[in-house]
Structure 1
Amino acid sequence: MEQFDQSLEVFMDNVGWLAPFLFILLHLLRPLLFLPVIAVCIAGGYLFGFLEGAFLSFIGLTLMSWISYLLVNKFPKFRGKMSRLKEKIFPDRTLSVAQVMILRIMPFVHFHLLSLYLIEMTKSRKEYMAISALGLIAPAILYTAFGQAISEFPWYTTVSMFLLLAAIFSFIEKWQNSRTQSN
């Protein structure tokens, strides 16, 4: 991770004013390079500072959401692959928008899988993009601001944070189910 940050910093220094555009492009190429979202956002905070890094990460993640929408709707094989992954990871489970937002904050949860959930919940591309963009604010800010610190925490602190997010996720599901049953 440290080597990645150093080589990225040298590269960005050499490209000058193109650095923000290349960073956004890195967000778009991230799935092909098997880089986790958190690694790219950490690099953004390191290279551009908190505000600019979070803003550029938000733009990159939002563009990635748009690409996810296109991939799911234009390529039936891709949609099928994501649907099979959905059944494998969350069998017979319907997630709420709030749960998808919580999962977006968790590192290493498949970005396109969560996009598929949002696509299935929304009625149009415009609605999908609005909800998706709202759900990307928190990860862009959290990963950029705290990503480096989170990655340096002892394993038990990282596990505790993951368990806290999982508890919030579970609480939302139970709360949603109780609301549905009472209606």
Structure 2
Amino acid sequence: MDELFNRALEVIEAAGWYAPVLFVLLHVLRPLLFLPVLLVTVAGGYVFGPIYGAIYSYIGLMGVSVSFYWIIGLMPKLHQKLARLKEKVFANRERMNTWQLLVLRVMPFMHFHVISFYVIEETRDFHHYVKKSAIINASPAVVYTAFGGLIHQLPLPGVLLLVGFLAILAFLVRTKNEQEQANEPQEKYL
């Protein structure tokens, strides 16, 4: 798989003016090739630089999100499988706000499509899904492109520190409802 990915990067680099189109296409095909978002987005920063790499990655991530919306409706078994996985990942959680979803999109261990599935179920229709996806897809496009090389070069303690920081950030941006529930006194049973 790494050889295929490296070959794809070589083709993109040699493609000239239509290289961005090939890169966006690589993003859209990424789930079929079982390539992680992090890898493709970091490659975008390497090939196109941080600004254009982030723009092209964002377009590619939006392409993946939009195609996922339509594909999930056509595949009931995949829909059921993702519903079970979503229940495991988001069990006992109230609705997540946009800030939490932004942070989760950047977490390398969170599956891209589980979050997309969550957004599908939390939005009313395609328009609202695209609107929310447009917001939350910005975080991996910018962070992975700009800091992707740094993340890969960090030693394990640095990566753990970064993940810990993101977890604390996710805790601090809890929904208002969760904060109110946390502040309510617990009833004691005698």
Both structures adopt the same fold (TM-score exceeding 0.5): yes
The answer to whether the 8 Å contact 1:41/1:143 transfers is yes
The answer to whether the 8 Å contact 1:61/1:136 transfers is yes
| Structure 2, gaps ≥5 residues long | 184-190
| Separation of aligned partners in 2, 1:15 and 1:76 | 38
What SS class does the counterpart of residue 31 from structure 1 fall into? helix
Who is 1:130 aligned against?
Answer: 131
What TM-score results when the alignment is normalised by the length of structure 2? 0.86
- Structure 2 residue identity aligned to 1:134: I
Who is 1:83 aligned against?
Answer: 83
| Separation of aligned partners in 2, 1:40 and 1:158 | 19
What TM-score results when the alignment is normalised by the length of structure 1? 0.89
Who is 2:43 aligned against?
Answer: 43
Who is 2:65 aligned against?
Answer: 65
| Separation of aligned partners in 2, 1:34 and 1:117 | 20
- Structure 2 residue identity aligned to 1:132: S
Q: Give the count of matched residue pairs.
A: 183
- Structure 2 residue identity aligned to 1:33: L
The answer to whether the 8 Å contact 2:95/2:175 transfers is no
Cα deviation, 1:28-72, whole Å, max 9, x if unaligned, reads: 111121111111011001111111110000000011111121123
RMSD: 2.4
Instruction: Decide whether aligned partners of structure 1 residues 7 and 84 sit closer, same or farther in structure 2, where only a CA change above 3 A counts.
Output: same
Sequence identity percentage: 40
1:166 aligns with 2:167: yes
| Matches for 1:1-183 after TM superposition, within 5 Å | 7-97=7-97, 98-173=99-174, 175-179=176-180
The answer to whether the 8 Å contact 1:95/1:117 transfers is no
Cα deviation, 1:97-129, whole Å, max 9, x if unaligned, reads: 332221001113111110111111111111110
Q: Which has the larger radius of gyration?
A: 2
The answer to whether the 8 Å contact 1:71/1:78 transfers is no
